Amino acid sequence: MVMPSFEIIEPEAGDSPLVVEVPHAGLGIDGESASWIAAPIDCLARDADLYVDELFADSPRHGATLVVARLSRYVVDLNRAADDYDGIAVRGGPEGNRPRGVIWRLTSDGRQVQRAQVTPDEAERRLDQYYRPYHQALTQVLERKRDRFGFAVLLCAHSMPTPRHRASAGRAPTGGADLVPGSCGGTSAAPHWIDLIDSLSREPGYHVRHDDPYRGGFSTAHYGRPADHFHAVQLEIARRLYMDETTLARDPNGFPQVATFAARLVGRLAESATTRAQRPGGVT
């Protein structure tokens, strides 16, 4: 059975050039995929961007279209290229070592995701039923925005685990960052959008580091084409800021603080994008 793999929530009042994408918060597994998956539930949750959809749940109230995946990346990873898998994960696949591509074969801690090597038919089923419809829908949303406003801005929202040398709750480890904007080395968006996300991220006092260790995944690189008036920036949020990484519970103090930041970030981005769309010769 094909399960609903994503939902699109439009702004509650008006519209803006901004789209917020959350491709990794989903935990859903359809029946056919479940028969292939061996990884335990706790791995599935730890490899998800748990609660990021909730952190950005108010985005439509602040002028952005919200695109949220409900499917687990253990079924198909929506932030990978369609051909990003290896012959160990999928029978007859290409040589190479892609253990966490569009079809995952290893969890982030090295355990087997699949009970057996996925058949080409099974891989194609997942791509046809879930991956391609998701990206077709996201493409349509972005193109509609560009057609209306002259440009579109995509904020790809993710979370990042604390490195193994953990710090105290809520504090950055040595050399760690609270927020990592990824723009493929400044190529996936015009400088204005990268700089604005940087300044808005620093306002609450967060430690920000660009493109390190996350430069941006498939969505950022694929949709971020400033020459075509599509701008994309990935934003990684440190999980320790809003959740307990051991129990996976929301932090009662940190979660509302990060949710407030996310709402303010989206609101300011949407406001800036709408204002610029109305100016002759504005940043597009």
Provide the pLDDT for residue 167. 44
Residue written as token pair 């009662």: 252
**Contact between 112 and 100 (Cβ < 8 Å):** no
Residue 3 has pLDDT above 70, yes or no: no
**Contact yes or no for 80/134 (Cβ under 8 A):** no
Expressed as residue numbers, the domain containing 43 is 6-76+131-228+240-278
Look at residue 88 and give its three-state secondary structure: coil
One-letter amino acid at 25 equals: A
Residue 126 resides in a domain? no
Q: What is the pLDDT of residue 165?
A: 45
What amino acid is encoded at 246 in this protein?
T
Task: Say which residue, 38 or 174, is predicted with more confidence.
Answer: 38
Instruction: Evaluate whether 215 touches 198 at the Cβ level (below 8 Å).
Output: no
Q: Which amino acid is at 175?
A: G
pTM for the model = 0.94
Average pLDDT value for residue range 82-111: 95
Residue 120 placed within a domain: no
92 occurs within a structural domain: no
What CATH number is attached to the domain comprising 31? Answer: 3.40.630.40
How does pLDDT run across 208-252, given as a tens digit for each residue?
999 999 999 999 999 999 999 999 999 999 999 999 999 999 999
CA distance 16 to 279: 14
State the total domains in the chain: 1
